[in-house]
Structure 1
Amino acid sequence: MKVGSDKLENVERALSHIRQAVADQKPTVVALPECFNSPYGTKYFAEYAESIPGGYTTMQLSQIAKELNIYVVGGTIPERDPNDVKMLYNTCTVWSPCGELIAKHRKMHLFDIDVKGGVRFKESDVLTGGSEFTTFQLDNTFKIGVGICYDIRFEEMARIYRNNGCDMLIYPAAFNMTTGPLHWELLQRARANDLQLYVATISPARDPNFEYVAWGHSMVVDPWGKVVITAKESEEIIYADIDMTLNEKVRAQIPVSKQRRIDLYETLYDQRY
């Protein structure tokens, strides 16, 4: 979806697209892009930040999930910590068909890069990184892990989700015109192929008039590493049917999870957090 400078218009646009998606295909899950209520940029985060779940944006997400009886992966918004107003996070919320907040993921890995001749960005100037892994289940049968944008570059994080029984990873994300052409599809197919699960990414539409120009191309990749569907760079709703049996079929045919030499190496979650 296109994201402008007016928060209320952004939220209304998101709600409109959700209603359209449900009217067209009656999906179980609808997902929004990273920073869907705010322009993506460090100078905007404090202005657009809200508390979760009490802020305007998340109240609207709760209501639409309940109204339409769907799961909503609410992209991300800048979150202000109610216990410390100076603390800001880039946060994804997940809402049940009852309108209940069932998961909240704060972006773990902050986007601090400086590509010579390309893009320079430093989220850590204003944001704090999260420290919790985030999963939710669809009707207790299909487990989904949540990451945000730059999180996808860290295979260890995705591996822990896989070890924890996830069938799919969802990343609201906003790659740019430097990293998008090089790594957007590559990283999704790598995570899907290595871990033998579905990967979905949801991007804002490209707007060349903004300082940070998103690559676009929201995408779903299956456990074979095959692209199921991809959007273009412009505003678009894409739909994918998820075969809940495909993960196990792929894992049975190429049983890498059983062949890993965990006597020699292993990826572990630090339980201190």
Structure 2
Amino acid sequence: MSKMAASKLRLALIQLSVGMKKAENVSRALQKVKEAAGNGAQLVALPECFNSPYGTSYFPEYAEPIPGESTNALSCAAKEHGIFIVGGSIPERDGDKLYNTCTVWNPEGQMIAKHRKIHLFDIDVPGGITFRESDSLSPGNQLTTFDLPQCKVGIGICYDIRFAELAQLYGRMGCKLLLYPGAFNMTTGPVHWELLQRGRALDNQLYVGTISPARDVDANYVAWGHTTMVSPWGEVIATTEHEETVVYSDIDLDYVEKVRQMVPLRNQKRTDMYEVVQKS
């Protein structure tokens, strides 16, 4: 395999319709994974809470241990199709605590990473939305990366994308791709969803992919949709609207280094201002 070919990666980001029945949600996810693998995807990613409606009242009911029913299905699918799967997230039960957790599976069906959402979604926008994940969930406390043949990948979940420091740490750890399963809503989605993705990509000069559930206007929590891939140049290179679909993106990881050479940020000499801040 040539160096150029080795740097190419075909991703499939599944904007999944999620309903009230867990078994149907998982079955639909597996159908879309099979479809994506059949179209040449090497890495397939699912949305936040792909097996459960999104809501604090649902998390305890739908929560399961890891490994468990939903994640075992992902393991089998990854092995069957010979692909990497980023399993969006599920409500995870661990003892008396619940987490919003993403698992990652390699082509042998082995779990190679597990990310528990670090920053819980607690917001209050008057006239817009009030939501408190912390009413039922506990936060994670670890950074999560995994290695593809092409690059290192960093994982965040939804609200994690708002914290620039997390993306910066992933960049310093050598990540060239960040993936954020997320379910922004109809208040924050139209104004912040794409903006945050482009900001994280541009500031850190890497690829950023976000994976949303499809929009269900009858749900208690209505997702914005608009699953998207952004380049290290800050450009949207693949996106969709709000219906269930698969967003494909063919990326070249060598482009990360080209952007960093064109606009060098990492090796810039720190100014006196930075030195003062560091010493204070």
Q: How far off is 1:219 after superposition?
A: 0.3
Unaligned ranges ≥5, structure 2: 1-15
Q: How far off is 1:177 after superposition?
A: 0.1
1:227 to 217, 227, 236: 236
CA distance in 2, matches of 1:164, 1:20: 33
Render the CA deviation track for 1:122-161: whole Å, top value 9, x for unaligned: 000000000000000102x401000000000000011000
Change (3 A) 1:258 1:16: same
Paired residue total:
260
What is the letter of the counterpart of residue 42 of structure 1?
A: T
Tell me whether 1:201 sits opposite 2:213 in the alignment: no
SS at match of 2:233: coil
CA distance in 1, matches of 2:70, 2:208: 26
2:66 — aligned with what?
A: 52
SS at match of 2:201: helix
2:32 — aligned with what?
A: 17
What is the letter of the counterpart of residue 29 of structure 1?
A: L
SS at match of 2:175: coil
Unaligned ranges ≥5, structure 1: 267-273
CA distance in 1, matches of 2:277, 2:115: 28
What is the letter of the counterpart of residue 82 of structure 2?
A: N
CA distance in 1, matches of 2:240, 2:70: 25
1:26 — aligned with what?
A: 40
CA distance in 2, matches of 1:247, 1:258: 15
SS at match of 1:93: strand
Tell me whether 1:255 sits opposite 2:264 in the alignment: yes
What is the letter of the counterpart of residue 207 of structure 1?
A: D
CA distance in 2, matches of 1:253, 1:18: 36
2:8 — aligned with what?
A: none
Which 4+ residue blocks in structure 1 deviate beyond 4 angstroms?
A: 262-266
What is the letter of the counterpart of residue 172 of structure 2?
A: N
Q: Is the strand fraction higher in 1 or 2?
A: 2
Looking at both structures, which has the greater relative contact order when contacts are Cα pairs under 8 Å and sequence separation is at least 6? 2
CA distance in 1, matches of 2:138, 2:63: 13
Change (3 A) 1:126 1:14: same
Q: How far off is 1:27 after superposition?
A: 1.0
Report sequence identity in percent: 59
1:92 to 102, 126, 130: 102
Q: Compute the TM-score of the two structures, normalised by the length of structure 1.
A: 0.93
1:149 — aligned with what?
A: 158
